[in-house]
């Protein structure tokens, strides 16, 4: 095992794949100077300016040029700097990248990775903190990835780069600089659609992903101290998602709590709850519930931000209620 941050894990994965495949390259703002967090540090020296391309602040063209370059046989990694800026490139992502293979009857394979660091990031306010991953699960034609630890960041990035499908890769901004460990040596691809079990328990199933995962695990320890043992699944990829693992767990516990940092209303938690009830039937599911943020923009000031955040305490309370009622 090696000591890394998630930034290091992502960098090692992209570097490994760029060494393996000369068609892989990166475009985005400030990437040649290493990227905002150092996720491309050293790339200019190793790969040269043609494969690590710092671009103008032109999100539409960063996204669309990535697509065009994929259509002639290269494999671009499109860096969006932070997720919120993808709003400036929605035509290119939603109308072009996600549709082009289908619309053209299979002639095009848009093999791109779109990297979008997302989520709350202390005191960054409403345009630099959003989690709207559920929008993209709703969008046919793309794979949606949202890792929460270094090993998954690396393994899923390798899979994303090797994928012929377009992959939307949501790096968890708030966890990016956290200390973590991952296996040493060549990074193996992690298949899409496989959840990771973080804790075993029979009292309730907690399904979660991305930056909220460490808080869920804090809550799980507190719950265990009170005699409530949770089965915890980190989905890691939201499309495709590991429905089989979730169903197997809820079959055992009969209680489901989905925890996500995103707004609860219309969030992906609702889809998971609906599918579980649909597949298992109401007789076999005692509780199926979501915990997310209230339907508010993210405020700036620390006490305001804390007010709306999904916290360990809120997770403990929701889980306790779900397990006991």
Q: Tell me which of 39, 130, 148, 163 binds another protein, using CB under 8 A.
A: 163
Residues 86-115 that bind another protein (CB under 8 A): 91-92, 95-96, 100-108
Q: Taking CB under 8 A as the rule, does residue 21 contact another protein?
A: no
Using the contact rule CB under 8 A, the part of the chain among 72-80, 146-154, 218-226, 267-275 near another protein is: 72-80
The 3-state secondary structure of the chain reads CEEECHHHHHHHHHHHHHHHCCCEEEEECCCCCCCCCCCCCCHHHHHCCCCEEECCCCHHHHHHHHHHHHHCCCEEEEECCCHHHHHHHHHHHHHHHCCHHHHCCCCCCCCCEEECCECCCCCCCCCCCCCCHHHHHCCCCCEEECCCCHHHHHHHHHHHHHCCCCEEECCEHHHCCCCEEECCCCCCCCCCCCCEEEECCCCEEEEECHHHHHHHHHHHHHHHHCCCCEEEEECCEEECCCHHHHHHHHHHHCEEEEEEEEECCCCHHHHHHHHHHHHHCHHHCCEEEEEEECCCCCCCCHHHHHHHCCCHHHHHHHHHHHHHC
Q: Taking CB under 8 A as the rule, does residue 268 contact another protein?
A: no
Q: Taking CB under 8 A as the rule, does residue 136 contact another protein?
A: no
Q: Output 139 or 308, the one with its CB closest to another protein.
A: 139
Q: Tell me which of 45, 56, 225, 282 binds another protein, using CB under 8 A.
A: 56
Rounded to the nearest whole angstrom, what is the least distance from the CB of residue 47 to another protein in the complex? 12
Using the contact rule CB under 8 A, the part of the chain among 137-145, 171-179, 218-226, 315-323 near another protein is: 137-145
Q: Tell me which of 21, 164, 278, 313 binds another protein, using CB under 8 A.
A: 164
Q: Output 143 or 310, the one with its CB closest to another protein.
A: 143
Size of interface with another protein, in residues (CB under 8 A): 48
Q: Taking CB under 8 A as the rule, does residue 50 contact another protein?
A: yes
Which residues of the chain form contacts with another protein (CB under 8 A)?
Answer: 23, 25, 50-51, 53, 55-56, 58, 60-61, 63-74, 76, 91-92, 95-96, 100-108, 140-143, 163-166, 192-193, 239-240
């Amino acid at each position: 095992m090696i000591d890394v941050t998630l930034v290091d894990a992502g960098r090692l994965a992209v570097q490994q794949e760029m060494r393996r495949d000369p068609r892989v390259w990166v475009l985005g703002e400030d990437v040649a100077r290493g990227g905002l967090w150092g996720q491309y540090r050293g790339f200019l020296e190793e790969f040269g300016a043609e494969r690590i391309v710092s671009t103008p602040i032109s999100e539409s063209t960063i996204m669309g040029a990535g697509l065009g370059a994929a259509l002639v046989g290269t494999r671009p990694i499109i860096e969006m700097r932070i997720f919120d800026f993808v709003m400036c490139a929605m035509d290119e992502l939603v109308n072009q990248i996600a549709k082009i293979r289908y619309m053209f009857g299979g002639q095009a394979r848009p093999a791109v990775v779109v990297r979008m660091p997302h989520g709350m990031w202390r005191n960054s306010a409403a345009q630099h903190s959003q989690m709207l991953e559920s929008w993209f699960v709703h969008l046919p034609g793309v794979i949606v990835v949202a890792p929460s630890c270094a090993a998954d960041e690396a393994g899923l990035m390798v899979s994303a780069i090797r994928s012929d499908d377009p992959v939307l890769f949501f790096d968890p901004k708030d966890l990016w600089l956290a200390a973590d460990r991952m296996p040493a040596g060549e990074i193996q691809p992690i298949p899409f659609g496989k959840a990771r079990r973080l804790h075993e328990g029979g009292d309730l199933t907690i399904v979660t992903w991305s930056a909220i995962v460490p808080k869920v695990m804090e809550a799980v320890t507190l719950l265990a101290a009170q005699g409530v043992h949770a089965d915890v699944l980190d989905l890691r990829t939201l499309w495709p998602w590991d429905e089989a693992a979730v169903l197997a767990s809820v079959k055992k516990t009969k209680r489901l709590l989905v925890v996500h940092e995103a707004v609860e209303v219309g969030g992906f938690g609702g889809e998971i709850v609906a599918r579980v009830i649909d597949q298992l039937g109401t007789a076999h599911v005692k509780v199926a519930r979501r915990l997310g943020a209230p339907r508010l923009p993210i405020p700036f000031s620390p006490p305001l931000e804390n007010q709306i955040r999904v916290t360990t305490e809120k997770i403990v309370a929701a889980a306790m209620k779900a397990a006991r009622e």
